[in-house]
Structure 1
Amino acid sequence: MSGPTIGITSYVEQASWGVWRTSAALIPYAYVEKVRTAGGVPLIVPPVYDDAEAVLSRLDALVLAGGADVDPAMYEMVAHPETVGLRPDRDESELALLAVAYARDLPVLGICRGMQLMCVAAGGKLEQHLPDVVGHEGHRPEPGVYGSHAVSLVPDSVLGRLLGDELQVPSYHHQAAAEVGSLTVSGKADDGTVEAVEDPSHTFALGVQWHPEVSADDRLFRELVRVAALSESTESGRRVII
């Protein structure tokens, strides 16, 4: 296996295998497979907020994976009754990883929760229960079932140039960006939900609210790997040369 090393943040959950039931660092294998088939070397990154510099020094790009709701305290809000399953270890770890990745101008792809975390880090806020705002459950139709809907992308955005003006996406979320802070919105659903963001101050910093890891469309992962492969070390860290 060769290619750039792509870190994928992970859950810490109770898991079962064989005779064992214990805490495990895990991630849906679809993330790993998408990175691998795109030409990257996937590396699962558990919550390691006390050593973000050491972790990022070994990576060529970072994927902030989906998962549980971001703690509303991170954006100075009180929790909605539907905001559940908080993982403060992931919040703290991934914000630290994101800060170091930005400082090194390392390519970053935020997926679902990962995009939301990028918005919070940029000074934004989240809609804690999207059905209250859009009036339907289409973004998460039922437990364990992905929705499907169209996303319109800004034509001259990074994502628009890569994916076109519109695409159909797999969706599973009940929260979304209410404010994106210093980020730029590059895509929305028909109901106005923010579906994609970019950070123009970095070479490659994209967030999508949908789940490209379970889509047949692998362009986003292939572009992440392509950009990561162009990284080279500089005195200030890795910087992408395009």
Structure 2
Amino acid sequence: MASNASSPLIGLTTYVEQASFGFWDLPSAVLPGVYLDGVTAVGGTPILLPPATTWEAAHLSGLDGLIVVGGADIDPARYGAARDPATGPARADRDAAESDLVALALKTGLPLLGVCRGLQMLNVVLGGTLHQHLPDVVGTTDHVPRLGTFGEVGVRIAEGSRLAGILGEQVDVRCHHHQAIDRLGEGLVPVAWAADGTVEAVELPGETFCLGVQWHPEMDVDRRLFAALVEEARR
């Protein structure tokens, strides 16, 4: 059973990268600490989930919520597309693990927040597709001005949406993505847009908390998205 404690257990996906620590330089399961800060600051307890197993429903039964974090491009083969030259190398272990986790969260009703790649994975799991290089679509690099930096993007949020209830109908966000939703996955509703028309957030209607944002709330002092997930997990 899930914890039902005052500090809900929130699973966060991780990914394998070469990392240096102490005397060692080894492939390691890693996650930027800002995600941990975002969860703990609003009363949650983070649980790190490595891309190293075939996930099953029983594995998630101890969690109260799930955050699928940002990162590398999803293999376009997963949504039936040829690889664009701008698309990054495939990360088969991560794609498989996160696809399983998202599908299980949807099946079991586990509260879910997708961040950047996490939104894209939610869309792909539900049968949607991605624009593989957004500058070719919208004609600007506003969403990723250069590698290692965040774009500042104004976002309009749909009135009456779950997201608007959390953030209001207008918010400035920090983006770092060169891909974005093309065809929506089954059941997903777009609820936020940049001025260039890029879909910046989606929801799955219903009582279960299922929300994806294309921006990076972990990089902001505004913790309302994390707080909304943790509060839903607590219930």
TM-score (structure 2 length as normaliser): 0.95
User: Does residue 211 of structure 2 align to residue 206 of structure 1?
Assistant: yes
Of 41, 55, 74 in structure 2, the residue corresponding to residue 37 of structure 1 is 41
The superposition leaves residues 169-213 of structure 1 with CA deviations (integer Å, 9 ceiling, x where unpaired) of: 000000000011221000000000000000114510000000000
2:6·2:234 contact (CA, 8 Å) conserved in 1?
A: no
1:139·1:174 contact (CA, 8 Å) conserved in 2?
A: yes
User: Does residue 111 of structure 2 align to residue 110 of structure 1?
Assistant: no
For 1:79 and 1:202, locate their aligned partners in 2 and report how far apart those are by CA, in whole Å: 36
Q: Which residue of 1 aligns with 2:15?
A: 11
1:15·1:22 contact (CA, 8 Å) conserved in 2?
A: yes
Report deviation, 1:58: 1.6
Describe the SS at the equivalent of 2:190. strand
For 1:53 and 1:181, locate their aligned partners in 2 and report how far apart those are by CA, in whole Å: 22
1:49·1:96 contact (CA, 8 Å) conserved in 2?
A: no
For 2:47 and 2:207, locate their aligned partners in 1 and report how far apart those are by CA, in whole Å: 23
Describe the SS at the equivalent of 2:120. helix
Q: Which residue of 1 aligns with 2:230?
A: 225
Of 172, 184, 187 in structure 1, the residue corresponding to residue 192 of structure 2 is 187
Describe the SS at the equivalent of 1:50. coil
Q: Which residue of 2 aligns with 1:77?
A: 81
1:49·1:92 contact (CA, 8 Å) conserved in 2?
A: no
Describe the SS at the equivalent of 2:89. coil
1:230-241 correspondence to structure 2 within 5 Å: 230=235
Report deviation, 1:2: 5.3
Of 88, 94, 97 in structure 1, the residue corresponding to residue 92 of structure 2 is 88
Structural RMSD (CA) = 1.2
Q: Which runs of 5+ in 2 are unaligned?
A: none
Q: Which residue of 2 aligns with 1:240?
A: none
Report deviation, 1:54: 3.4
- In structure 2, what residue type is equivalent to 1:193? T
Count matched residues. Answer: 230
Describe the SS at the equivalent of 2:54. helix
Report deviation, 1:51: 3.1
Question: Which one is further off, 50-59 or 8-17?
Answer: 50-59
1:2·1:41 contact (CA, 8 Å) conserved in 2?
A: no
* Displacement over 4 Å in runs of 4+: none
Report deviation, 1:59: 0.8
Q: Which residue of 2 aligns with 1:165?
A: 169
Q: Which residue of 2 aligns with 1:151?
A: 155
1:114-125 correspondence to structure 2 within 5 Å: 114-125=118-129
For 1:8 and 1:205, locate their aligned partners in 2 and report how far apart those are by CA, in whole Å: 15
TM-score (structure 1 length as normaliser): 0.92
Describe the SS at the equivalent of 1:51. coil
Report deviation, 1:143: 1.1
- In structure 1, what residue type is equivalent to 2:214? Q
For 2:6 and 2:14, locate their aligned partners in 1 and report how far apart those are by CA, in whole Å: 22
Q: Which residue of 2 aligns with 1:28?
A: 32
The superposition leaves residues 103-127 of structure 1 with CA deviations (integer Å, 9 ceiling, x where unpaired) of: 1101000000000000111111000
